[in-house]
């Protein structure tokens, strides 16, 4: 019987990597790394100028600043995590892995959950609500091995 291939997706809003495990004790390999330069940039450096102005119809000579629903930093993070999820979705559809463990801080984990399609989300065997992007591959394996059998 073939040992299932497990992918460990480790991400935050600025960086991500996919680590592959072919069973407990098997060597780990990095499948892909992702980087988001905008994820490390301050919000004010991402915006080109002040928010737009809008007028009120009840008071024709008054205007106030328009605040976007998401700031530029948050939008860059959403786009980055969506890009990561699209890549994982494609790999799931192609059958490149059998099981998926997702490791990310709370907000990034939620965004990844929303962006993963059914092909990938059905393969999730573990979720770890932590930022481990700066940890070594072996440290990450140690933290998810009980749930993901990697």
Segment 26-50 shows an average pLDDT of 71
* Span 106-146, pLDDT tens digits: 999 999 999 999 999 999 999 999 999 999 999 998 888 87
Structural domains in the chain, sorted by start: 6-40+72-148 (3.30.420.60)
Cβ atoms of 32 and 18 within 8 Å: the answer is yes
Which of the two residues, 93 and 44, has the higher pLDDT score?
Answer: 93
Residue 105 has a pLDDT of: 96
Q: Which pTM value belongs to this model?
A: 0.78
Angle of helix 72-93 relative to helix 106-115, nearest 10 degrees, comes to 50
Exposure string for 81-92, b = 16+ CB within 10 A, e = fewer: beebbebbbebb
> Phi, psi at residue 32, to the nearest 5°?
-160, 150
Listing DSSP states for the chain in one string gives -PPPPEEEEEE-SSEEEEEEESSTTSPPEEEEEEE-GGGGS-HHHH--SSPPEEE-SSSTT-EEEPPPSS-HHHHHHHHHHHHHHHHHHHHHHTT--SEEEEE--HHHHHHHHHH--HHHHTTEEEEE-S--TTS-HHHHHHHHHHHH--
Residue 109 has a pLDDT of: 96
Query: What's the pLDDT band for 23 if we cut at 50, 70, 90?
Result: confident
Query: What's the pLDDT band for 36 if we cut at 50, 70, 90?
Result: confident
The CA distance from 4 to 20, in Å, is: 10
Place of tokens 């007028």: 55
């Amino acid at each position: 019987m073939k040992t299932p291939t497990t992918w460990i997706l480790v991400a935050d809003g600025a960086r991500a990597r996919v680590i592959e495990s072919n069973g407990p004790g098997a060597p780990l390999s990095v499948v892909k790394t992702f980087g988001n330069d905008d994820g490390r940039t301050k919000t004010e450096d991402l915006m080109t100028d002040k928010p737009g102005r809008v007028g009120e119809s009840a008071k024709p000579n008054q205007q106030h600043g328009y605040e976007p629903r998401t700031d530029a930093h948050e939008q860059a993070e959403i786009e980055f995590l969506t890009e990561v999820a699209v890549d994982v979705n494609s790999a799931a559809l192609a059958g490149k892995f059998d099981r998926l463990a997702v490791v990310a801080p709370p907000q990034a984990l939620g965004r990844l959950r929303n962006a993963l399609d059914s092909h990938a989300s059905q393969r999730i065997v573990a979720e770890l609500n932590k930022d481990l992007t700066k940890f070594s591959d072996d440290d990450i394996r140690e933290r998810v091995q009980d749930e993901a059998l990697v």
